[in-house]
Structure 1
Amino acid sequence: MTEVLVVGGGIAGLTTALSLHAAGVGCRVVDKARELTTVGVGINLQPHAVRELTELGLERELAEIGVPIGEVVFCDRFGTRIWGEPRGVGAGYRWPQYAVHRGALQMLLLHAVQERLGPDAVRTGLAFDDCAETSGGVSVRLRTREGTTVTTDADVLVGADGLYSAVRAHLHPSEGPPVGSGIRMWRGTAEGVPFLDGRTQVVGGSIATARFVVYPITPPRDGTTTINWVAEARLPEAAPVRDWTTRGRLEDVLPHYADWQVEWLDVPELIRRSEPILEYPMVDRDPLPRWGTSRITLAGDAAHPMYPVASNGGSLAVVDARVLAYHLATEPDVPTALLGYENERRDPTTAILLASRGLGPDHVLHTVAERAPNGFTRIEDVLSAAELAQIGESLRTTTNADVTTLNERPTWQPT
């Protein structure tokens, strides 16, 4: 039986393990962290990812930890609606869009891996150091946190180790650092009363001045929910933040929103009540002409890190995992299987990566801010019908899967 070693115990790596196991392919996971914890803030799982997790038998667990988002709404800094569209089931998909806490999702996946593959299927404290392809597989050298090395063999090596992937660096040693955008991001969560209908994702303002994304990430309990927010502002002089755990400062983010007056949500107060505030890099990497070799490949952010403007990074990682498992389970020749996986996933993810560099509908939102800096009553007095339609078009190229195609596509679960 084919044996796969996955480097990285995040969403991509753990979903890869579950998908391989469901397809009858052996798998082990290693991660450099001392332990996997609930670090992080909110993410969205689009219907194309929820379908795959549902087929992995995780539908009930997702419903317990997530909020089915019913609508995405774009507004100005006064909370006045510019445009909106239904999400998930409301948009015609057979599966919802879930907003979840990234750490809760990671723990859900980790527990599922441990239950199905065994308690030792995921080993922490082991970092990828180097590897060498052999005639029938890969010899992988791992490094413990104490600095000693461990060597293990596998038929396939999958780098699912994120933006700063060590496996990607091994495959593409001359690539260099991530590509900066000049945009600084802060993120946080706080408990609060559900806003609007309790199932809405809101994008307010524009990055040129300040953009604020907010949505609930836990089912309401005792009249409150966990509210996740993302603050984004263009600061070209700011040095890029390297990782996802850097503490942000209230005095850096709050001035961008101090004058926001939204009737249905006190934005400055939400920021003040959030602890910790995290700073994130808005960076990506240029698309690769190839992901891997005949025995090594990449998945998730290791393969296609992109700006988080499409609420789609984690979802693409889930789909990567399922497609990879399908090809390894249905094609006995490993190099052919990995080539089939890459050919199926590289072009679509590259298209989304490049489209995301356009920052989605932000140019339209900035136009509203320029034309109506003090607010508006009717959006038709600010934007033309063609300009409004650009918002939906930008989501189509970065986020939305075709409804009919997704609903009718055959399963990637090998039978």
Structure 2
Amino acid sequence: MRIVIAGAGIGGLSAALSLHAAGFTDVTVHEAARAIEPLGVGINLLPHAVRELTELGLAGRLAAIGVATAELAYFNRYGTPIWSEPRGLDAGYAWPQYSVHRGRLQLLLLEAVLERLGPGSVVTGSRITGPGDEDLLVGADGINSDVRRRLYPDEGPPPWNGLVLWRGTSHGEPYLTGRSMIMAGDGTQKFVAYPIAPGLINWIAEKPLDGEPPERGNWNRPADLAEIGRHFADWRFDWLDVPALIAGAEKAYEYPMVDRDPLPRWTFGLGEGKVTLLGDAAHAMYPIGSNGASQAIIDARVLAHALARDDLDFYEAERRPATTALQLSNRKMGPEVVMKLAHERAPHGFDDVEQVIPYEERAEIAASYKRTAGFDPASLNARPSW
């Protein structure tokens, strides 16, 4: 079976490794860029994705480039705690959670693909827009996917929710546990930070943007650090100086918060073969809950499982409803809704979060999102391997 993958991002490279592990030998990845470079900033890999990379034999390499997240904590815009929970091994998972530099992860996957599938398995400077003579084309070419556009030519640009994200990395001292991922905000304006290497902190600043954003879907548009810092000038907490962290970055990038509407169908028969979608090309979602890269990796593993069973329909039946539910949950802020609720109920701050959002409500918000996203600890630890 000849399989062509459009896109050498995290999803496309994970798909190549997964297909190779399932016994498929004629797999080629085509990447439109002329060179694959370590672009981007930090991302998170949740335990369900780390499980899949571990089963692909990449646990040691992943541990070498990532920081094992110990805690996820939410605060209001004044730095007062709303909710915190352990993550990864500390939360009872059989696998860790990692914060990593996106580009380093991509290069790790690329190195593994070239080792296992051979030096000709990744072709750069090669844009795939539709099927050729392969048996299966996998569109893993991102939020502005050419393959998706071929299937849905009237869809238009990704819809925007009115918020802009600024992303950067800064050298800084450890805070809280030293391996904490924090989110502080009021449901509209937000600041996120987590370490991705010793002394290196990835951060995301978010607020509404007036007017129409440029270049929807472009993660690499430079941003003005002084302008970002102006919007967070008074966000100084006992445990983190937000404006100082922003000012300490060498550069930052601007990105309108966009996603894609859920699709009624991913898989089509075109010509003599078939085409299906994977990752952001199939289900781009708001960057809430740290699920974008993780879901693409899971797509890749389920696709390989389905093809090994000679049942491509299983892939879509398993993944499309699950990712649709997650896309819609992220549009409602997912687990981050606790910051919005805290602001609505106590806009000027509070002394006792229990009087604002009772523990049972906060716990159910967190647990419900884990179930929706497929990383409830007990279920994940007990699930058979793909």
* TM-score bracket relative to the smaller structure: over 0.9
Shift of 1:191: 1.6
CA RMSD of aligned residues (A): 1.7
Shift of 1:192: 1.6
Q: TM-score, normalised by structure 2?
A: 0.94
Query: What's the counterpart of residue 268 of structure 1?
Result: 243
Q: Decide which of 183, 190, 197 is 2:163's aligned counterpart.
A: 183
Q: Decide which of 181, 198, 206 is 1:201's aligned counterpart.
A: 181
Instruction: Indicate if the aligned counterparts of 1:179 and 1:285 stay in contact, CA closer than 8 A.
Output: yes
SS at 2:237's partner residue?
Answer: coil
Matches within 5 A, 1:316-335: 316-331=295-310
Q: Deviations over 1:168-221 (max 9, x none)?
A: 00111121211111111100001222211111110101242x200110112x2x
Shift of 1:374: 4.8
Matches within 5 A, 1:248-259: 248-259=223-234
Query: What's the counterpart of residue 128 of structure 1?
Result: 128
Shift of 1:390: 5.2
Shift of 1:15: 0.3
Instruction: Report the more deviating stretch, 24-33 or 248-257.
Output: 248-257
Matches within 5 A, 1:186-335: 186-208=166-188, 210-218=189-197, 220=198, 225-235=199-209, 237-242=211-216, 243-294=218-269, 295-331=274-310
SS at 1:128's partner residue?
Answer: coil
Q: TM-score, normalised by structure 1?
A: 0.88
Aligned residue type for 1:314: A
Q: Decide which of 123, 129, 145 is 1:165's aligned counterpart.
A: 145
Q: Deviations over 1:349-369 (max 9, x none)?
A: 111011110012444313433
Aligned residue type for 2:136: V
Mapped pair 1:73 → 2:94: no
Query: What's the counterpart of residue 407 of structure 1?
Result: 381
- Distance in 1 between residues matched to 2:335 and 2:129, nearest whole Å: 41
Aligned residue type for 2:283: H
Instruction: Indicate if the aligned counterparts of 1:187 and 1:278 stay in contact, CA closer than 8 A.
Output: yes
Instruction: Indicate if the aligned counterparts of 1:241 and 1:279 stay in contact, CA closer than 8 A.
Output: no
Shift of 1:372: 4.2
Matches within 5 A, 1:10-159: 10-25=9-24, 26-131=26-131, 139=132, 153-159=133-139
Instruction: Indicate if the aligned counterparts of 1:171 and 1:292 stay in contact, CA closer than 8 A.
Output: no
Aligned residue type for 1:226: L
- Distance in 2 between residues matched to 1:345 and 1:400, nearest whole Å: 11
Aligned residue type for 2:172: G
Q: Deviations over 1:208-259 (max 9, x none)?
A: 2x200110112x2xxxx21001111122534254211111112332122100
Shift of 1:381: 3.6
SS at 1:113's partner residue?
Answer: helix
Query: What's the counterpart of residue 357 of structure 1?
Result: 331
Indicate how the Cα distance of structure 1 residues 104 and 47 shifts in structure 2: closer, same or farther if over 3 A, else same: same
- Distance in 1 between residues matched to 2:345 and 2:150, nearest whole Å: 49
Indicate how the Cα distance of structure 1 residues 362 and 19 shifts in structure 2: closer, same or farther if over 3 A, else same: closer
Aligned residue type for 1:21: H
Q: Deviations over 1:37-58 (max 9, x none)?
A: 1100111111110011000000
- Distance in 2 between residues matched to 1:401 and 1:266, nearest whole Å: 32
Instruction: Indicate if the aligned counterparts of 2:18 and 2:56 stay in contact, CA closer than 8 A.
Output: yes
- Distance in 1 between residues matched to 2:232 and 2:360, nearest whole Å: 30
**What percent of counterpart residues are identical?**
53
- Distance in 1 between residues matched to 2:230 and 2:257, nearest whole Å: 20
Shift of 1:400: 5.5
Query: What's the counterpart of residue 384 of structure 1?
Result: 358
SS at 1:303's partner residue?
Answer: helix
- Distance in 1 between residues matched to 2:226 and 2:215, nearest whole Å: 17
- Distance in 2 between residues matched to 1:327 and 1:372, nearest whole Å: 49
Unaligned runs of 5+ in 2: none
Indicate how the Cα distance of structure 1 residues 354 and 373 shifts in structure 2: closer, same or farther if over 3 A, else same: closer
Instruction: Indicate if the aligned counterparts of 2:322 and 2:372 stay in contact, CA closer than 8 A.
Output: no
- Distance in 2 between residues matched to 1:110 and 1:167, nearest whole Å: 21
Unaligned runs of 5+ in 1: 132-138, 140-152, 332-336
Shift of 1:64: 0.4
Shift of 1:70: 1.3
